[in-house]
Structure 1
Amino acid sequence: MARNLPEAELDTFTELRFQADAVAAELDPELEKAVAFTHFDTASSQDNLITVLMTRDDLHKLPSQTLVRVKSLEDKRSYLGVVVRGPFSEPDAVAANSTIAVGVVVQGKKLSYTFDYHGRAEIEILGEESEDGQLVPPGHRPRPKSPVFLLDDEESEHVLGMKGEMCLGMVVGYKEMEARIDALDKSVLPRHTGIIGTTGGGKSTTVATLIHRAQSSGVATIVFDVEGEYTHVDQATDEPAMLAALARRRQKPEGVKDLHIHHLTGRSTRNRRHKHRHSFALNFSSLSPHAIAEILEMTDAQLERFHKAYEVTKLLLEELKIFPKTPDEQQQLLELDDLSTGYPRMTLQHLLDVVSAYMYALNSEGKAESKAKAKGTSRQTQLLPGESTEEPAAEVAPSQSPQLFSEFNQHQHRVLARVHEHIIRNEVSWRALFGRLLRLRRLKIFDVGAPGVDYDSMLTPGRVSVIDLSDTDSPQLNNLVIADILRGLEGRQEERCQQAQEQNRPIDPALIIIEEAHEFLSASRIAQMKVLFEQVARIAKRGRKRWLGLVFVTQLPQHLPNEVLGLLNNFIIHKMTDSTVISRMQKSVGGIDESLWGRVPRLAPGQAIASFSSFKRPLMIAVDPAPVKRLLVD
């Protein structure tokens, strides 16, 4: 039979309990706010990773990506960390894989009894907090049983670097935290971005959202649109799913305010009713001969003849006083870099005429007078102004004349003389080259009298310029257009940058978005496209100082060369399911931990791993729905 304790003993126990409560309160009143405690290390523990345990009541407080502060009371150190794995549930009394634990769970319908359980999570240490509040690399680890505290949203935003007015979406794991960047910070977007993921993962929505946000921030945005998806972004979205998503984010559908659509002359656009439509042509003289040869994928034999014909054409333009004419043009010629641009005033027809002359000379050698006789023939043609007669140029006087259609037609003897001075045989290769150049002329986009690209218009702050390439059906043509306009934009932005510095004012920012980037710079052809890649690399390096950001968008990142991925410092990675592609991306993109890479194959549409130079660490985000109208592509 149980007996009541004597009153004196009961008073003693009561006093001990009060003393214990007082000692606990005196030790650390903050422990009440702790949501977890650090566990002991094991043989499998890793640097910068610690295991924490929590009660079942606190399990929901530590979702993935939650920022925490770990106070190591034993050595009086404080650390900041982020949950990277878990939280997982484990039984208190027995091992999770024990027979009794398995039996209790499996027999859940029959047994009302279950074990109490706790939570376990892994935290990555971001750094140790110094006495002045700075975050420094950790030199130690938190001691076991160190309390773990949650950071509030305001402090979490500061730690993660969520600053700026451009919102990309919501950070997964937080109710109110937005993933933000400073659109006007030269150390963010001008360090170049890759938007990557499979079809249906949400890339196009991300691009449309980025266009809208950039325009709202006053950034000039240029989009190379190979499918015409973004030709209606001046209109608000009418997709039911997108409208519902906008409503959940308490945002309104709206289009961009200043849209201009550019398309090649003779080609159409998917928004024919837009009031700001501009057709443009390309100048053959603005394209580097090396880039042309790479894009047209010439064989070695064709390449040799192409460069020979190009050099002869340059000589003829100089002899005929087409270029240079003035001292300023002479100076321009001395500063010319044929790796970035072509020869001034050279047209495609000039080059075709020279190639045609080569084919004629080789085809008519047995019918015409020999080159030796031609050199001895007295000159009967009229001399050009300023031309000397002391060293007459070689001539050929065949029975027929080649068909020339440029200014060279008036000086056929001079063209043929130059051809014979720089003769390269093999008529078959010349005809193959002529066929490639003829296909370029049939495109009717070079030197056709239409206006060129207005780069100042494209670089207007807050303007969205969509270059609609949906009506070309030719990746080679698209690449020619992209290469030429990129070079022109970089040159004009450099001039505007210099003007801004002279006037002591900020540089107007610009963002260039290249859709289907794997078609423009392919890993399988990078060895044959060295000049084109060097052009892009030069634009990327100069753009960082001149506020010219590049965004490469692709669903086939495995086709992008490592050299291109190496130019990018920011990434928005949507769902990818190919383990080989993910493995390659892991080697190319640094800073993303294993736990986030493990989520990539399971990302829902619209979710992405965002890694920006301004973020303290990569984060999983839910990209904001696009408020603008986007045309769906079959």
Structure 2
Amino acid sequence: VPKVGNARYSAGHHRAEQQPFTIPFSMVSSNRWLLAGGQLNDNQYNALDLLLDRFFDERSGEATYDAFRNFLDAPALRQELDETGHVHEKTFDAVKRRVMAVPRGVFDQDAPPITDLVRDFVRPGRLSVVPTYHLTSSRAAEMVVLALSSLLIDQKLSSDPRYERIKETPLVVGMDEAHDFLADADSVQARKVIGKFTEAAKQGRKERLGLFLITQDPQDIADPVFKQLNTRIALTLSDEDAVSSLNLPTALESRVTDMQRGSMAVYSPDNSKPVEVVGLPACVTRHGRE
């Protein structure tokens, strides 16, 4: 459960073990785009990169979000970078505004860092679920989801991983509302995120990493990622653009718009013919606390 500011997670509907965690600002060192949001151009992003390099070089013992805010508040830094030609003062101001706009409470909260909980978060035979619906800021939820996804993907694809548990454990990373995180957009952050997930989809199989993206709007998933996902499972979809984006055979495409509950179309062009799976008329699994 991500601890973000004063947000509280209510878990009266299940008895699963809960472990609060925080995103340590140190993760930004290898994922600079987490701070960029979607509003920095290439020049501003390069300036952010330079500022973070300098910050982490100087403050390795206190690499927190608040410390970085204080670092940017120093008037002498802005003046020095402008006079030396490294970062124009207006570019500096644009970067600073974006950094200050990060929802307070995303980083360095009173909970164990997720990087200290890897052996609990990733365990063979276990399902770990990270809820974000209790977070009131959509950007905070986006930052949490992308930070965790990047941790798993980077370690899986790394030739020199820091966390052997992630590297060695077969994983399926599931992302609900995937269109909120992987939509195509012309920003530095979007390009880096899309690039990361595209590489995961291309290279993940040999590293025993699978991606399971869940969305009501498949047409909004960036093409470089979507084209790498072979198997598609479609429940009822009424939007014509959503249905056509799945590239289902004509006969099956016409069925997707009026499927009954429990039915689905499964299409894996590289592995099988498309099929319609029909659910049982009654539930045979008991759910709940009994």
- Tell me the TM-score normalised to structure 1 length: 0.39
**2:274 aligned with 1:618, yes or no?**
yes
The code of the aligned residue for 1:347 comes to T
The one of 197, 201, 221 equivalent to 1:560 is 221
The 3-state SS of whatever aligns with 2:278 is strand
d(CA) in 2 for partners of 1:346 and 1:264? 19
Q: Residue 281 and residue 628 in structure 1: after superposition, are their counterparts in 2 closer, same or farther (change >3 A)? A: farther
The 3-state SS of whatever aligns with 1:465 is coil
CA drift at 1:517: 0.6
CA drift at 1:420: 4.4
Which residue of 1 is the match for residue 263 of structure 2? 607
Alignment of 1:19-98 (within 5 A): none
**2:191 aligned with 1:530, yes or no?**
yes
Which residue of 2 is the match for residue 281 of structure 1? 22
d(CA) in 2 for partners of 1:546 and 1:419? 45
Which residue of 2 is the match for residue 271 of structure 1? 11
Q: Say if 1:575 and 1:608, in contact at 8 Å, map to a contact too.
A: yes
Q: Deviations 1:140-191 (Å, cap 9, x if unpaired)? A: xxxxxxxxxxxxxxxxxxxxxxxxxxxxxxxxxxxxxxxxxxxxxxxxxxxx
Which residue of 2 is the match for residue 311 of structure 1? 50
Q: In terms of Rg, which structure is larger?
A: 1
Which residue of 1 is the match for residue 208 of structure 2? 547
Alignment of 1:42-191 (within 5 A): none
Which residue of 2 is the match for residue 353 of structure 1? 70
Q: Say if 1:512 and 1:548, in contact at 8 Å, map to a contact too.
A: yes
CA drift at 1:282: 1.0
d(CA) in 1 for partners of 2:205 and 2:153? 11
Task: Note the residue ranges of structure 2 that are not aligned, 5 or more in a row.
Answer: none
CA drift at 1:473: 2.8
Q: Which structure has greater strand proportion?
A: 1
**2:106 aligned with 1:448, yes or no?**
no
Q: Residue 483 and residue 595 in structure 1: after superposition, are their counterparts in 2 closer, same or farther (change >3 A)? A: same
Q: Say if 2:69 and 2:99, in contact at 8 Å, map to a contact too.
A: yes
d(CA) in 2 for partners of 1:498 and 1:542? 18
Which residue of 1 is the match for residue 141 of structure 2? 478
CA drift at 1:571: 1.0
CA drift at 1:572: 0.8
Which residue of 2 is the match for residue 150 of structure 1? none
Q: Residue 279 and residue 316 in structure 1: after superposition, are their counterparts in 2 closer, same or farther (change >3 A)? A: closer
Alignment of 1:177-576 (within 5 A): 262-266=1-5, 267-271=7-11, 274=15, 276-287=17-28, 288-293=31-36, 296-300=37-41, 304-305=43-44, 307-315=46-54, 317-318=56-57, 320=58, 322-323=59-60, 346-357=63-74, 360=75, 417=80, 420-421=83-84, 422-426=86-90, 430-440=92-102, 442-453=103-114, 454-493=117-156, 495=161, 508-523=169-184, 525=185, 528=188, 529-576=190-237
CA drift at 1:484: 1.1
CA drift at 1:469: 0.2
d(CA) in 1 for partners of 2:40 and 2:154? 31
The code of the aligned residue for 1:461 comes to P
Task: Note the residue ranges of structure 1 that are not aligned, 5 or more in a row.
Answer: 1-261, 324-343, 362-413, 502-506, 587-591
The 3-state SS of whatever aligns with 1:468 is coil
The code of the aligned residue for 1:439 comes to A
Give the number of the structure with larger relative contact order, counting CA–CA contacts within 8 Å between residues 6 or more apart. Answer: 1
Which residue of 2 is the match for residue 148 of structure 1? none
Q: Say if 1:284 and 1:348, in contact at 8 Å, map to a contact too.
A: yes
CA drift at 1:496: 9.8
The 3-state SS of whatever aligns with 1:281 is coil
d(CA) in 1 for partners of 2:162 and 2:241? 43
The 3-state SS of whatever aligns with 1:572 is strand
d(CA) in 2 for partners of 1:623 and 1:568? 24
The code of the aligned residue for 2:144 comes to V
Identity of aligned residues (%): 19
Q: Say if 1:574 and 1:600, in contact at 8 Å, map to a contact too.
A: yes
Q: Deviations 1:557-587 (Å, cap 9, x if unpaired)? A: 222222221121111111222333323332x
The code of the aligned residue for 1:292 comes to L
CA drift at 1:607: 1.0
Q: Residue 279 and residue 497 in structure 1: after superposition, are their counterparts in 2 closer, same or farther (change >3 A)? A: closer
Q: Say if 1:265 and 1:279, in contact at 8 Å, map to a contact too.
A: no
CA drift at 1:485: 0.6
Q: Deviations 1:260-286 (Å, cap 9, x if unpaired)? A: xx2324432231574621111112231
CA drift at 1:431: 4.6
Q: Say if 1:265 and 1:450, in contact at 8 Å, map to a contact too.
A: no
Q: Deviations 1:52-82 (Å, cap 9, x if unpaired)? A: xxxxxxxxxxxxxxxxxxxxxxxxxxxxxxx
d(CA) in 1 for partners of 2:242 and 2:265? 15
Superposition RMSD on alpha carbons, in Å?
Answer: 3.4
Q: Which structure has greater helix proportion?
A: 2
d(CA) in 2 for partners of 1:466 and 1:546? 22
d(CA) in 2 for partners of 1:481 and 1:543? 21
CA drift at 1:299: 4.1
Q: Residue 286 and residue 491 in structure 1: after superposition, are their counterparts in 2 closer, same or farther (change >3 A)? A: same
Q: Say if 1:596 and 1:609, in contact at 8 Å, map to a contact too.
A: yes
Q: Residue 354 and residue 306 in structure 1: after superposition, are their counterparts in 2 closer, same or farther (change >3 A)? A: farther
The 3-state SS of whatever aligns with 1:512 is strand
